[in-house]
Amino acid sequence: MKLFDNKVIVITGGTGSLGKVLTRRLLQRELGSPKKIIIFSRDEAKQHAIRVEYQRKRNVTDEVIYDNFARLIEFRIGDIRDYHAVCSVLREADIVVNAAALKQVPSCEYFPFEAVKTNVLGTENIIRAIGENNLKVETVVGVSTDKACKPVNAMGISKAMQERIFTAANVIIPKTRFICVRYGNVLASRGSVIPLFHEQIRCGGPITITTKEMTRFLLPLESAVDTIFAALKGAKPGEIFIPKIPAARIEDVAKAMMGDQLISIEYTGIRPGEKVHEILVSEEEAWRTYDCGEYYAIRPMLPELIKAETGLRTLSKEYSSGDFLMTFEETKELLQKYNLMVTQDDKEDKELLL
């Protein structure tokens, strides 16, 4: 029996970039045939757009047959902050992927308690719903970020708390496995810099970069889903799975995307709460981080969750985007591979719209 065979899978924040790719991969049945995929989010417009897409309608105004609850993909309107909505959506769940989040660094910096409500209290709502209602959930995967490692901004702090809350839940609710994945910038997701660069280049510039030294990990959306699948298959309770991924200078990303076009670059300075280099594993975590092939796994600190194992190869230093930089040519090849370059046709299409 494969991992997802006959499973009910709930994706919170399922209308986001990650949720959409995760849904598509689940529908490909590479790890089995789910019984039901439930997309749980606040945005009715995005839910409707995805529903129309999967029903192969040509326009959003085409007739849609609303047999929502009878389909393989079921859409649920609700907020991760609402305990009762979370209880309802998890009632039949076997696997939960918590992709609901506030993740824009400046927004969270100005409204930090809003980040707490979604990223911290929302996480606790999942645990409360499972524990207080004795739900049969087998595994919960929390989607975290490199900003949770040695956090310096409100978003990172709230995500670091999400990790700790999920880790501790394994002690309180041992019948459910709570694990996390942590990774850097996801290429072309709504929260990444790629769409901004695309727009700036199409408009003729300038491209805005904070500083010449800025580096970031770059992870394709497909690899983000691969990490979730790997964690579901191999992570022990309380572990955080981290992909081994390339990093690049943001300046190289911008220059590669613009190609031969003559576009100016403006350096705006580091924003509040921003790091020059991102870190996926801190030096404090390195001694309990072991190598498992294409991924690193951070073991939990809680002694109740640690089992003695021999032969584990742990890291000797932190895992930073400043230490594993691609060359300019390698950065360009990565962007070309995922069709993220701005072509002349893109620019002409923008001019026609204007």
pLDDT the model gives residue 350: 44
User: In the prediction, which pLDDT does 354 show?
Assistant: 34
What amino acid positions are annotated as catalytic residues?
147
Question: What value does the mean pLDDT take over residues 294-318?
Answer: 90
pLDDT band of residue 343 (cuts 50, 70, 90) is: low
**Tens digits of residue pLDDT in 179-238:** 999 998 787 666 678 888 989 998 898 999 999 999 999 898 999 999 999 999 999 999
Mean per-residue pLDDT, 146-167: 96
- Spatial distance between the Cα atoms of 173 and 128, rounded to a whole number of angstroms: 10
| pLDDT over threshold 70, residue 289 | yes
Could you tell me the pLDDT band of residue 271, with boundaries at 50, 70 and 90? Answer: confident
Which residue spans within the chain are E strands per DSSP? 8-12, 36-41, 73-77, 95-98, 139-145, 177-183, 185-186, 207-209, 215-219, 240-243, 247-249, 265-267, 279-281, 289-291, 295-298, 319-320
Report in angstroms the alpha-carbon separations of 143 from 18, 160, 195, 288, 335. 10, 11, 21, 20, 24
pLDDT of residue 159: 98
What pLDDT shows up at residue 352?
A: 34
pLDDT band, very low/low/confident/very high, at 70 (cuts 50, 70, 90): low
Mean pLDDT within 149-174: 97
**CA-based end-to-end distance of the chain:** 54
* pLDDT the model gives residue 308: 77
Q: For residue 331, is pLDDT > 50?
A: yes
∠29-93-52 over CA atoms, to 5°? 55
CA distances to 43, 110, 167, 272 from 115, rounded to whole Å, are: 18, 10, 19, 16
Q: Which fold has domain 8-184+220-245+280-319?
A: Rossmann fold (3.40.50)
Bridge partners of 183, per DSSP, are: 145
Asked which of 93-97, 117-121, 135-139, 348-352 is least confident by mean pLDDT, the reply is 348-352
Residue 64 has a pLDDT of 59
The CA–CA distances, whole Å, from 165 to 86, 99, 102, 142, 159 equal: 17, 15, 17, 10, 10
Query: pTM, whole model, 2 decimals?
Result: 0.90
Q: Which two tokens stand for residue 171?
A: 């002690």
For residue 206, whether the previous peptide bond is cis, meaning omega lies within 30 degrees of 0, is yes
> Number of H helices and number of E strands within the chain?
13, 16
Lowest mean pLDDT among 62-76, 133-147, 273-287: 62-76
| Domain boundaries, given as residue ranges, for the chain | 8-184+220-245+280-319
* pLDDT of amino acid 59: 62
Amino acid 184: pLDDT: 84
Q: Averaged over 8-22, what is the pLDDT?
A: 95
Q: What average pLDDT does range 31-38 have in this prediction?
A: 96
